[in-house]
Amino acid sequence: MISIIVDGINICAKYKVTLESFEIGMPEPKLVTVEIPGRDGELDMSEALSGYINYGNRQVNLSIGITGDDKVSESKKQQVLVAVLGKRIKLQLSHLDGYFLGRCIFSSISREMAHHTLNLTFSCDPYRYFISETVQTITLTSTAKDIIFSNATMPVSPVLETSADATVKFKEKTYNLKKGTHRLGFVFMPGNNVLNVSGIGTLKVRYRKGVM
């Protein structure tokens, strides 16, 4: 049986409700096209700004079964709605790794004898995020070395934490860093990404992966 987990709490177990059906939509790509007089078709500018395609939100629809007499069912319904309605939450389904991040934007309820069905719609970020961040710590030396970072589907800008002076090179651009936390703006794309690093102390690189 698949459970619904909201911000780390299994609401199926807590409120004694059942996930009867669900639908996870796919996000639509954000396409930017420009018509140019005298040119056939349209100019596709979808990747011009970031270098990769962006996506709109995805919808996740849940149908939750509630059993018991009207008083019990009404109480369960209210408890579930208080937990999700209008809030930006981490939504997990127990059969999937990771979580969706989104907001409950619609609810309805149907009644049939001693069975109620609560229908919820969530507007979520396009990617399903990994539970844990990827964290890699490198001991730096004066000799530069290449470090490979594997990424999933979602392009992501990593956070770099340096304990002392460090030099980081990514795709022909070099960054000279002091001690501290840095978000340099470059993006890890799906697959392997290489940082060339040198310096003293340590360099910690962390980022959260996401998949469709």
Q: Which domains does the chain have, with CATH numbers?
A: 4-127 (2.40.30.200), 134-211 (2.60.120)
pLDDT on residue 72:
87
Rounded distance between C-alpha atoms, residue 198 and residue 210, angstroms: 29
pTM of the model: 0.87
- Give tens-digit pLDDT for 58-91: 999 999 999 888 888 889 999 999 999 889 999 9
Residue 126: pLDDT over 90: yes
3-class SS at 2? coil
Rounded distance between C-alpha atoms, residue 17 and residue 96, angstroms: 19
pLDDT on residue 147:
97
Pick the residue with more confidence: 30 or 45? 30
Q: Of all residues in the chain, what percent carry a pLDDT higher than 90?
A: 75
- Give tens-digit pLDDT for 128-158: 999 999 999 999 999 999 999 999 999 999 9
pLDDT on residue 136:
96
pLDDT on residue 107:
85
- Give tens-digit pLDDT for 4-37: 999 999 999 999 999 999 999 999 998 887 888 8
pLDDT on residue 35:
80
CB 190 within 8 A of CB 207: no
CB 140 within 8 A of CB 109: no
Rounded distance between C-alpha atoms, residue 83 and residue 62, angstroms: 14
- Residue from 63, 105, 68 nearest 84 by CA: 105
CB 198 within 8 A of CB 145: yes
Residue 113: pLDDT over 80: no
Instruction: Find all residues with CB under 8 Å of 25, minimum gap 6, and list them.
Output: 58, 59, 60, 61
pLDDT on residue 12:
95
